[in-house]
C-alpha cells in the first residue's frame, strides 16, 4: 500500500471518529441537555487548552454569562454559578468527595488535609488540626504578636527603601516576603521559621521567585504529568535546573529539613506552632503521626497560605491605590483608634472597622485568590438547579461567576466597597452567600481567621505610614494586574509596582 493511501485512510478514520463522537455527544450523551459551548460537549480538550493557557477560570466565567447558571465545561464536568447548587456541592449535607484533580497536591506521597478526597477520611484527619486555626487560638496575643512584629519589620525595611519620602516598589515582592515570614512562623515557631526579614537576599527569599514561576507551570504539568517527568529526566544531569522545575523540590526538601531539625531538637519547637501540634498528636490507635505526613501537611499549608495572602494584600493595595478616597476613609476610621506600644491599633478594634472590612471584602470579591478547581464528584445521579446530573460527574462552582452576579452585585466590575456598607437584610445575606473567596461549607479554608488577621494588620500598617498610588510610568496597569487562571490567581505580569509616599497620621 502506498504512503498516500495510508495517509488518506488515516485522515478518513480521524474525521469519521470526530463525526461519530460529535453525533454521540450532541444527540445521545447523558450530558446533551446541559447548556454550554458545543465544543465542550464533544471534547475535554477545549477547557484543557484554556487551562494550560491559564485562562480557564475566566473562560468559565464568560460561559456562565452566556449560558446561565449551569454550564457543561467538558464531557462529564459541570460548573455552577448559583448559590443553591454551591451549597449542595460544598455543604455539609451532601459531603461530596473531592475529584482526582487533588492527586496533584500529594506531597512525599502523602495526602494532606487539603488533598484528602473522601468526606469521611477528611473528617478523620481534620480533627487533628482544626482547633489550631480557630479564631480563639489564632487571635490570642501570643499568635498575633509575631504578625504585628512582621508588619513593623516590613515597615522599617520600607522606610529604608523609600528614604522616608517616596518610591515606587514592587509591592507583590514585599507582600510575598511578609506572607512567607508569617506562615513559616505559624508553622515552625520562632526558632525554625525564616526570621530573615532583614536579609532580602537570604536563601528562602531568593527561592520565592522560583516558586512563583513554578506556579505558572503547574496547570500545564497537572494536565501533562508525563511532560514534567520527561523535562525532569532531560535536566537531571544539569547542575542548574530551570527554576520552574527545581523550585517545588527545593521547597519540599527545605520543609523536610525543618521537620528533621525538629526531630533532632524537640526543645526548639515552639508550643504554639503547627509543627509542635503535629509532632505531639497521635493516631486513634496511639501511634505518632508519620514524619512524611507531618511534612506533607506543613508543605501544603505553605502552598495554601503564602501566595494567597500575598496576593490578597497586593490586590487590596492595588484597588486602594486606584481609589485614594477609600484610603482616606480607612485613615479616618483608624485615626479614632488608640495605638498599642507597637504602633498599631489593637486587633479587637480592627475587627470592628467597617470601612477597612468593606475595602478588603470588595477586593476579594473582584479578585478571588483561590479561584481554581474546587472540584467535587457526584456519586449518584441527581438533580441540581432542576437539571439531571449523571453519577460520577465532576461538579464545581465558579467563584468568579458567583462574585460577579449582577443581580447580587450591581455593576459587578466596579470596585465599590460602599455596597458592603449600605447593604442590609436579605440583600446583605445574598451578597454574603455569593462571596466565597475562602471556599464554602465542609472544606472551608482552615486558615481564614489567620489570613484575615494578617491582611488587616498589614493593610493598616501600610496605610498609616504611606499614601499608596498608581505610578503611570511603572508598567503596572489594569491589564498587567488581570488575574491568571491559576490555582492561586497571580497577576498577568507577576508584579505590582505601586508608589508609596510617606505620611504621618495624627496620633490620638
Asked if 252 interacts with ligand HEM (CB under 6 A), we say: no
Eight-state DSSP code of residue 285: T
Asked if 117 interacts with ligand HEM (CB under 6 A), we say: no
Strand 376-377 to strand 394-397: parallel, antiparallel, or no bridges (unpaired)?
Answer: antiparallel
Exposed/middle/buried for residue 250 (C-beta within 10 Å: 0-12, 13-18, 19+): middle
Asked if 459 interacts with ligand HEM (CB under 6 A), we say: no
* Closest separation in Å from C-beta 399 to ligand HEM: 7
Asked if 470 interacts with ligand HEM (CB under 6 A), we say: no
Pick the closer one to ligand HEM by CB: 377 or 445: 445
Strand 70-74 to strand 77-80: parallel, antiparallel, or no bridges (unpaired)?
Answer: antiparallel
Contact indicator for 384, 70 with CB cutoff of 8 Å: yes
User: Distance between the two ends of the chain, CA-based, in angstroms?
Assistant: 92
Among 309, 350, 453, 496, binds ligand HEM (CB under 6 A): 309
Among 69, 308, 476, 497, binds ligand HEM (CB under 6 A): 308
State how far the Cα of 502 lies from the Cα of 493, in Å rounded to an integer.
Answer: 26
Contact indicator for 96, 84 with CB cutoff of 8 Å: no
Q: Give the cell for residue 327.
A: 484610603
Q: Which of residues 437-456 bind ligand HEM (CB under 6 A)?
A: 437-439, 443, 445-447, 450-451
Pick the closer one to ligand HEM by CB: 54 or 304: 304
In the shown chain, the binding pattern of residues 68 to 107 toward ligand HEM, with x for contact by CB under 6 A and - for none, equals ----------------------------------------
Q: Which of residues 363-392 bind ligand HEM (CB under 6 A)?
A: 369-370, 374
Asked if 255 interacts with ligand HEM (CB under 6 A), we say: no
State how far the Cα of 245 lies from the Cα of 235, in Å rounded to an integer.
Answer: 9
In the shown chain, the binding pattern of residues 184 to 213 toward ligand HEM, with x for contact by CB under 6 A and - for none, equals --x---------------------------
Q: How far is CA 97 from CA 277, 380, 393, in A?
A: 27, 12, 11
Q: Which stretch binds ligand HEM (CB under 6 A): 164-172, 252-260, 407-415, 434-442?
A: 434-442
Residues 6+ apart with CB under 8 A from 375: 77, 98, 99, 101, 102, 394, 395, 396
Asked if 278 interacts with ligand HEM (CB under 6 A), we say: no
- For 292-432, strand residue ranges (E) read 376-377, 382-384, 387-389, 394-397
| N residues, the chain | 508
Pick the closer one to ligand HEM by CB: 42 or 446: 446
| Ordered DSSP codes for 431-496 | HHHH--TT--GGG--TTHHHHHHHHHHHHHHHHHHEEEEE-TTSS--TTTTSBPSSSS--BTTS--
Q: Which stretch binds ligand HEM (CB under 6 A): 190-198, 245-253, 326-334, 431-439?
A: 431-439
* Closest separation in Å from C-beta 171 to ligand HEM: 16
Among 47, 69, 150, 301, binds ligand HEM (CB under 6 A): 301
- The answer to whether the annotation marks 445 as part of a ligand binding site is yes
* Closest separation in Å from C-beta 270 to ligand HEM: 15
Pick the closer one to ligand HEM by CB: 53 or 448: 448
Binding-site residues for heme = 445
**Which residues form the interface with ligand HEM (CB under 6 A)?**
113-114, 126, 183, 186, 301, 304-305, 308-309, 312, 369-370, 374, 437-439, 443, 445-447, 450-451
Amino acid at each position: 500500500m502506498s504512503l498516500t493511501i495510508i495517509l488518506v485512510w488515516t485522515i478518513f478514520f480521524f474525521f469519521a471518529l470526530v463525526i461519530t463522537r460529535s453525533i454521540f455527544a450532541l444527540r445521545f450523551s447523558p450530558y446533551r441537555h446541559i447548556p454550554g459551548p458545543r465544543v465542550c460537549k464533544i471534547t475535554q480538550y477545549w477547557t484543557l487548552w484554556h487551562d494550560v493557557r491559564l485562562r480557564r477560570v475566566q473562560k468559565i466565567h464568560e460561559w456562565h454569562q452566556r449560558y446561565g447558571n449551569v454550564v457543561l465545561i467538558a464531557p462529564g464536568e459541570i460548573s455552577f454559578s448559583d448559590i443553591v447548587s454551591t451549597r449542595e456541592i460544598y455543604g455539609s449535607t451532601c459531603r461530596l468527595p473531592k475529584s482526582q484533580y487533588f492527586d496533584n497536591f500529594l506531597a512525599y506521597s502523602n495526602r494532606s488535609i487539603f488533598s484528602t478526597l473522601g468526606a469521611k477520611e477528611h473528617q478523620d484527619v481534620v480533627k487533628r488540626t482544626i482547633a489550631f486555626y480557630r479564631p480563639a487560638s489564632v487571635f490570642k496575643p501570643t499568635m498575633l504578636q509575631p504578625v504585628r512584629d512582621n508588619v513593623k519589620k516590613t515597615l522599617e525595611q520600607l522606610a529604608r527603601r523609600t528614604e522616608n519620602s517616596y518610591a515606587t516598589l514592587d509591592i507583590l515582592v514585599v507582600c510575598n516576603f511578609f506572607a512567607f515570614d508569617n506562615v513559616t512562623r505559624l508553622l515552625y515557631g520562632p526558632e525554625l521559621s525564616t526570621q530573615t526579614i532583614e536579609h532580602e537576599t537570604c536563601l528562602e527569599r531568593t527561592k520565592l521567585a522560583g516558586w512563583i514561576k513554578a506556579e505558572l507551570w503547574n496547570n500545564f504539568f497537572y494536565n501533562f504529568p508525563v511532560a514534567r517527568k520527561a523535562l525532569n529526566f532531560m535536566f537531571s544531569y544539569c547542575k542548574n535546573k530551570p527554576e520552574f522545575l527545581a523550585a517545588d523540590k527545593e521547597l519540599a526538601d527545605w520543609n523536610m529539613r525543618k521537620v528533621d531539625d525538629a526531630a533532632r531538637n524537640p526543645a526548639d519547637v515552639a508550643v504554639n506552632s503547627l509543627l509542635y501540634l503535629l509532632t505531639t498528636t497521635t493516631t486513634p490507635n496511639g501511634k505518632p503521626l508519620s514524619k512524611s505526613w507531618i511534612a506533607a501537611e506543613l508543605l501544603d499549608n505553605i502552598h495554601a497560605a503564602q501566595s494567597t495572602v500575598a496576593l490578597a494584600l497586593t490586590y487590596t493595595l492595588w484597588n486602594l491605590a486606584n481609589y485614594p478616597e477609600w484610603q482616606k476613609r480607612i485613615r479616618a476610621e483608624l485615626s479614632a483608634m488608640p495605638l498599642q506600644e507597637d504602633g498599631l491599633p489593637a486587633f479587637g478594634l480592627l475587627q470592628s472597622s467597617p470601612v477597612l472590612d468593606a475595602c478588603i471584602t470588595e477586593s476579594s470579591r473582584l479578585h478571588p485568590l483561590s479561584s481554581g478547581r474546587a472540584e467535587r464528584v457526584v456519586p449518584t445521579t441527581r438533580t441540581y438547579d432542576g437539571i439531571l446530573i449523571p453519577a460520577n460527574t465532576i461538579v464545581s462552582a465558579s467563584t468568579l461567576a458567583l462574585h460577579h452576579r449582577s443581580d447580587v452585585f450591581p455593576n459587578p466590575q466596579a470596585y465599590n466597597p460602599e455596597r458592603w456598607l449600605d447593604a442590609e437584610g436579605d440583600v446583605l445575606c445574598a451578597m454574603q452567600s455569593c462571596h466565597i473567596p475562602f471556599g464554602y461549607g465542609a472544606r472551608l479554608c482552615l486558615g481564614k481567621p489567620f489570613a484575615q488577621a494578617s491582611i488587616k494588620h498589614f493593610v493598616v500598617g501600610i496605610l498609616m505610614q504611606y499614601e499608596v498610588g498608581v505610578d503611570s510610568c511603572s508598567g503596572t496597569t489594569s491589564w498587567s494586574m488581570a488575574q491568571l487562571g491559576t490555582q492561586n490567581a497571580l497577576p498577568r505580569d507577576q508584579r505590582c509596582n505601586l508608589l508609596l509616599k510617606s505620611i504621618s497620621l495624627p496620633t490620638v
